Amino acid sequence: MTTGFWRIKKMSRSDNSKKSPVCWKLLSIGSGNTLFEDSYKLVAVSYPGMEHQSSVTYGNWYRNGYRQRDVSATGIGFKFDFIIVHESGHEWFGNNISMKDSADMWIHEGFTNYSENLFVEYHFGKKEAEDYVIGSRHNIKNDSPIIGVYGANREGSGDMYYKGGNMLHTIRHVLNDDSKWLSILRGLNAEFWHQTVSTEQIESFIARMVGVDLSKVFDQYLRTTKIPLLKYKVNGKTLSFKYERVVKGFAMPIRVIINGKEVVITPNEENKSLSFPKRSKHLKSIAISTLIWRNRICNVFSRPTLHSRGARPRRFMVIAILQAAPGESVISSEK
């Protein structure tokens, strides 16, 4: 094995240099201490790479992507060196904040996966970041829950990476306040600085900062493999809708466009309805943003919407429903 290292100058958290790596700007939690208290190094190895405190092992052949692959299948993954970005992200989630039990490994990998999206957004733009996170969903298998078995040194599903990152992206859009969202990510590293934590602690902190009970969202995506199914029915001036395949109490808001106007609906497992004014002759169109991605259907953010014939496509936000199996729908219209 050939080894070598590059020592990078210590930088303070207050450093706002445009040239500094994105994580130093986005995840730094304030001024005062040095960011890497015991330095930061890249050590050349023969395997792809791995996080270690102060020393990232690197074997990505000095090329962009992940060993000549783009994990998002969008082309965006070839714009940066995956190993450097991902493994460096573990300095925050993995090294600064660590799990108490291996069952909660998603705390390391889900957040660090999401740090890739922050990197892309900072350097290449918000649309590219959204395309990157959406594209990564083709890696989600939903084979077993993300949280593993406690007290048995057993990690959960490998979905902790891409499904974990997409769940965080979903919560970001529930909040719908990017500045506050970044303050939450920084706040996690301040609140749990140099601590080992549990999923419950992370859930509680995020819910408190968002101001919304997210317990059922975490239950749905961390503790089950169910894919929420949104069912809706149009009857004259009334739109009826509900979720199926969800844990009891799951209520995720969705932004839709009805008759050209954006409306937020919050389905749950019970039938709900939305009626329109008498002056409206009928419900002309309903648009719910969807994307066919490698033969799998999933709700997405900021993608062209489905409109009635002749309508002009527009972009709008919609909460994610994560990764259906091939041929499995996540939206169902009843006649």
**DSSP symbol at 67:** T
Q: Look up residue 134 and give its two tokens.
A: 């959406």
Which position has the token pair 């991902």?
86
Domain that holds residue 255: 229-334
Do 329 and 194 lie in one domain? The reply is no
Q: Which of 19-33, 167-181, 307-321 has the lowest mean pLDDT?
A: 307-321
120 touches 76 (CB < 8 A) = yes
Cα end-to-end span (Å), the chain = 64
Task: Tell which of 223, 249, 283 closes a domain.
Answer: 223
How far CA 126 is from CA of 98, 123, 165, 296, in Å, comes to 29, 9, 16, 23
Does residue 157 form part of some domain? yes
Do 193 and 250 lie in one domain? The reply is no
Query: How high is the pLDDT of residue 119?
Result: 95
Which own/partner pairs from 207-213 qualify as long-range (CB within 8 Å, at least 24 positions apart)? 209/180, 209/183, 209/184, 210/171, 210/174, 210/175, 210/180, 210/184, 212/174, 212/175
What mean pLDDT do residues 246-266 have? 88
Do 293 and 211 lie in one domain? The reply is no
Does residue 87 form part of some domain? yes
**DSSP symbol at 35:** S
Does residue 68 form part of some domain? yes
Task: Tell which of 195, 223, 251 closes a domain.
Answer: 223
Query: How high is the pLDDT of residue 38?
Result: 78
215 touches 247 (CB < 8 A) = no
Total count of domains within the chain: 2
Q: Say yes or no to pLDDT of 315 above 60.
A: no
Task: Give percent above pLDDT 90 in the chain.
Answer: 59
In DSSP terms, 296 is beta-bridged to: 293
Q: Which of 92-96, 110-114, 160-164 has the lowest mean pLDDT?
A: 92-96
Q: Say yes or no to pLDDT of 290 above 80.
A: no
> Predicted confidence band at 18 (pLDDT cuts at 50, 70, 90)?
very low
Do 101 and 234 lie in one domain? The reply is no
Do 203 and 72 lie in one domain? The reply is yes
Do 71 and 198 lie in one domain? The reply is yes
Q: Which amino acid is at 220?
A: Q
Helix boundaries (H) for the chain: 22-26, 82-89, 106-124, 126-135, 162-175, 178-191, 199-210, 215-223
Q: Say yes or no to pLDDT of 121 above 80.
A: yes
Tally the residues of the chain.
335
Pairing verdict, β 303-304 and 315-316: antiparallel
Q: Which of 45-54, 219-228, 254-263, 314-323 has the lowest mean pLDDT?
A: 314-323
32 backbone dihedrals φ, ψ, rounded to 5°: 120, -70
Task: Tell which of 203, 223, 243 closes a domain.
Answer: 223
Do 193 and 282 lie in one domain? The reply is no
How far CA 330 is from CA of 165, 231, 258, 299, 327, in Å, comes to 19, 8, 19, 8, 10
What mean pLDDT do residues 61-88 have? 96
Does residue 32 form part of some domain? no
Does residue 44 form part of some domain? no
Do 313 and 208 lie in one domain? The reply is no
Do 215 and 245 lie in one domain? The reply is no
Query: How high is the pLDDT of residue 127?
Result: 94
Query: How high is the pLDDT of residue 313?
Result: 32
The tens digit of pLDDT for each residue in 149-201 reads 999 999 999 999 999 999 999 999 888 899 999 999 999 999 999 999 999 99
- CA–CA separation, 308 vs 19, rounded Å? 46
The residue ranking higher by pLDDT, 255 or 216, is 216
> Predicted confidence band at 7 (pLDDT cuts at 50, 70, 90)?
very low
Does residue 141 form part of some domain? yes
The dihedral through the CA atoms of 183, 228, 201, 213 has a sign that is positive
Do 219 and 234 lie in one domain? The reply is no
213 touches 248 (CB < 8 A) = no
Do 93 and 191 lie in one domain? The reply is yes
Do 172 and 272 lie in one domain? The reply is no
Q: Say yes or no to pLDDT of 233 above 80.
A: yes
- CA–CA separation, 88 vs 95, rounded Å? 10
Q: 96, 93, 117, 116: which is closest to 105 by C-alpha?
A: 93
Query: How high is the pLDDT of residue 331?
Result: 67
Question: Which CATH number does the domain housing residue 77 bear?
Answer: 1.10.390.10
The residue ranking higher by pLDDT, 10 or 66, is 66
- CA–CA separation, 127 vs 124, rounded Å? 8
> 10 Å Cβ neighbour count for 46?
9
Average pLDDT, the chain: 80
